Amino acid sequence: PPQFLSSLTQTQVYPIVPAADPAQPLQTPLCPRCDYDLAGSFAAWFPAADTPGAACPTTGTCTECGLSFAAADVLVPARASCPGLYDHATHNRLRAFITTSLWIIFPWVFWSRVKMHHRINLRRIVIPPLALIATLFLLDRIIMVAAHILATKYGHAINFIGTGPLDIPAWSSGHPAIAAAFPFVMNVGSGFRAGPGTFIGGMMLAANLMWPLLLFVLPHTRSTARIRKQHIYRAWAYSFWPLAAITVFMTLAFALDLLVYLELATDFTRQIRTIASYISIACAWSGVVYVFHLAAWWSFALTKGWRIHGGWWVAILLSFTSLLAAFAAFGSIGIFLADL
């Protein structure tokens, strides 16, 4: 009814609601958290709108999960977009990419802006970081194999960063495949052992995978709060973006080392080596910071983004479990890969 649309668009009642076009139908009212159909609840408002002097309420409560929400968030299509979020950007995507990346660095900022009623475009969230990680990881492996071949051919020793001066032919036993696995796997005598990349990478992946796994299997989290799977998928997809950033900078460090080895920048050898070393050290520490960042990321998702009742207790429990899994992976990888 016109009175209902008027109650949603009056600036003095709800100043942040954009003007709605009465000729354009409103979207189906669904709960932002559990996707419950709220058509019956909204239908009960209409008789009040026909009463002289009455107005429809601007807030509501889901009868299924108990979420309190603004009526405009579930009725006005324009409210489903979050300004500045990358997967919602239609123009100037580079700016939205930078803005979203900065939000991810500060989880409380991201989850204060990205709400449950905002639409979810998983394909756009997942493809950029995964494509970047895959491309740069492949490029990084090509650099390592090329360095191995050159070192084997010319008998040079390559001082790659990460664990100190390393002779690639010695560590790879003359096999390019082992050179491609460095620094994740290294040859020691007659066997192999885990490299520094395996320890840090395993720690990051264990922490990253533990959060969605726990949220899906624990009954007190998703089932009790009735969180849609799409919300967990979106949080998980955006949590890969810092991994992509670490991959970018680590590949840059190896590329700088290769420039030095190929003697393409002889006038700036010391400066380039210093920069590459600092980048490598920063990436290694970023892997450790990333584990704790994940705890903050998911904690604010539970409490600020999804507004779960008792969310901080759930966040503390899951954070402890995730950190335990990360450090367990860090310590156990060396045991499993010690004597392959």
Torsion angle, alpha carbons of 252, 329, 211, 314, to 10 = -130
Q: At what angle do helices 241-261 and 122-154 cross, to 10 degrees?
A: 20
Nearest-5° angle of CA 184, CA 186, CA 187?
160
How many helices (H) does the chain have, and how many strands (E)? 15, 4
| Half-sphere CA count of 28, side-chain side, radius 13 A | 4
DSSP lists the bridge partners of residue 299 as none
Please check the confidence at residue 31 and state whether its pLDDT lies above 60: yes
**Contacts with 186 (C-beta within 8 Å, 6 or more apart), sequence order:** 171, 178, 192, 193, 194, 195
Whether the predicted model's global pTM rises above the 0.85 cut: no
Q: What is the mean pLDDT of the chain?
A: 74
Euclidean distance between CA atoms 319 and 294, whole angstroms: 8
Give 122 or 277, the one with higher predicted confidence. Answer: 122
Euclidean distance between CA atoms 26 and 184, whole angstroms: 54
Confidence at 78, pLDDT banded by 50, 70, 90: confident
